Structure 1
Amino acid sequence: MDVAPVQEPHAVVSVIDTREAYLAAVEAIAAGHGPIAIDAERASGFRYSQRAYLIQIFRRGSGVFLFDPPAIGDFSDLNALISDEEWVLHAASQDLACLREVGLDPERIFDTELGARLAGLPRVGLGTVVEELLGIHLAKEHSAADWSTRPLPQSWLVYAALDVELLPDLRDAVGALLTEAGKADIAEQEFSEVLHREAKPPKTDAWRKLSGLHTVRGARNLAVARSLWQARDDYAQEIDTAPGRLVPDSSLVAAAKAMPDSKHALAGMRDFTGRASRSELNRWWAAIEAGMSTDDLPALRGPGDAMPPPRAWSDRNPAADKRLKAARAAITDLSTELTIPLENLLTPELLRRLAWSPPSDLDVDSIRSALTELGARPWQVDATSQVIHDAFVDASQIEEEPGEPVS
């Protein structure tokens, strides 16, 4: 069995953490040629913020540069020199926000992860795609590291450098696959959508995302859960620590269910754990008291969507249920035919909304207009509108099955 070669030992990598070194790097990157390969490392799971703690840039003719964003601060002068070049990222949607936070904002991108999906590769993690298309085994042992650590270990820096050094070659390989499959225009539309996608507004009732909250009964108990969640979130933001590292969701839910009648009782709960569960006991007890006394009791259920979950459609809206099942089957077949993942061909949410509230005039043009209004890209509209129309028409012609005779 052929084994992909492992990368050769890497030269020592240093971090750019002074303004003088940063400006020298800006000049070197500007003097290079070809696309800008870029990646960012955050400290998800360790820190509250999603800021970048390391930014890696590679450009042919320039080399690789690793920047310390907290030390550098603003990258706008680098951005001014490279923003109109193509930037290559892997899973761009994960990094664009933290890059923009420091002034790095591209005008066009090539997303090797998304491109690999559209090309039909079954697995699209960076290491897997690099091995598949470039024949190089890329170790990924530091992907979940705490990148806010200072100083960063040399092995981590080498890992970070390799993430971008291979991106230009990977971009060429993925681009060739897309061109060969006739999907280059599709990919360009998808890359543009990622680049210009509006940030999601803050979630309403974010506390309802507490894992295990469904086991909490009663509005007063929910009020305590909400108060505890808010106290934890405020403190986590204050000290820039991931909330779950202070007190896990399971502990907040346990306290909301138990409703301890004193701070001492809270301290005695065996399932109220976490590194800040006792050191910040006054904070958590104050939150419980606030939840117990508030007049602003939450609804037993969160604000719902006008559209119920599909499992309820057969009772709530049988016609929509038939449309959704027929269209979903047809789109699944089309996904296989085009070798494009279902969620990229047309998001399930968009298809559900169209099936729930279809155009009054059920023709292909009205389906096209509805898809466009819901946010589908032109290639998605072209690929799916006829298929959805035909499925909806077929669904409307299905007669109800006669009931079983009563014995």
Structure 2
Amino acid sequence: MSTSDAGRADKPLRVAVLGCGSVGSQVVRLIDEQSEELAARVGARLELGGVAVRRLDAPREVEVPEGLLTTDAHGLVSRPDIDLVIEVIGGIEPARSLILAALENGASVVTANKALLAEDGPTLFEAAEKAGRDLYYEAAVAGAIPILRPLRESLAGDRVTRVLGIVNGTTNFILDRMDTAGTGFSEALEEAQDLGYAEADPTADVEGFDAAAKAAILASLAFHSRVTAADVHREGISDVTAADVASARDMGCVVKLLAICELREDADEPAVAVRVHPAMIPRSHPLASVREAYNAVFVESEAAGQLMFYGPGAGGSPTASAVLGDLVTVARNALAGARGVGESAYADRRVLPMGETRTRYHVAIDVDDRAGVLAQVATAFSEHGVSIQTVRQEGRDLDAQLVVVSHEATDAQLSATVETLRHLEIVREVTSVMRVEGESE
């Protein structure tokens, strides 16, 4: 939309939608059903200019008005009458090329593409800056939960120190079922697939790739530094056992897959630590009560203190709600001939490698049941500069097991400690290693 068109409420803003799957179809439905309300909020009508799909004859959740479907996505975003583009096809290509083409042709873009933003966000932000257009992406993290805008705008005058979140509903459902119903990982995953919470190939979810992309986006916004998915230490939940969940319960904890973004000032210079892995958290922590496939993000800042954002983290309608919120904003900006907030990466802090990140460990060790065992285990921790917070023995004779929870140390120190334990003569097996977040009561 040209500058001369700014403020003209009599001219509709034409919207192109890329993708008509579970999210795209709900976006199309909402634009159609809420057209009058959207026009009142924006100050001009929003008119669908086209919907790009891979196959014209594929079954869809909603009926798309005749003549809007096209398989020529590049042609659609290059049309001079298209003012706004919504990208919900996902993946890296052709999404990246289409977004860049849309920006180059003068359209502002709303995307839900977490993988692309986490891999190559700077390229997109630079293209938006050069074109003088908006690139908004609230729906890329935690579905309908408004978390990116608060980080980008509401907390712009504050200093965020930590973002801790459950940002993948599939893994949260699985771990919740393991905790509340006592099921194993495989059974809980199968149930999640039967209910539609997990894909036929659940790798992106259960191995933490989805959460790592979201963590990169959250850290970039919170700490004004460019963080990519490759910077995020990632571990999934496929190795979490029923014994791990039971041990957490004995400690008054619950196991969650957490995205953890921290501003660390205990290094030589302020740095960012970003990781995704299963962890035990106290049941008193607000995130511990997040059940089923819900998401929640816990933000800590110097002035505002602790903030909690909670809600459905996926699904067609919830994600479409976030897309429409961004659409209204970029449409208003287009009418005013203005731009919203762009990328903020002025701090340019380095990302700490996982070995330098400080954390705590829960370690379960099958040991010989004889005198001196505890002393040897304690020595292994001491040799690597790790102090022990608690230790307890479970079982006797061949079932003897020590469960040790450490104080905070670097991950490299803790990993070295576990490796030493594995080579002790009195240790039959290190059966479980899991990080611990928060202080148990």
Asked if these proteins are the same fold (TM beyond 0.5), I'd say no
TM-score normalised by structure 2 residue count = 0.27
The structure richer in strand per residue is 2
TM-score normalised by structure 1 residue count = 0.28
The structure richer in helix per residue is 1
The structure number with the bigger radius of gyration is 1
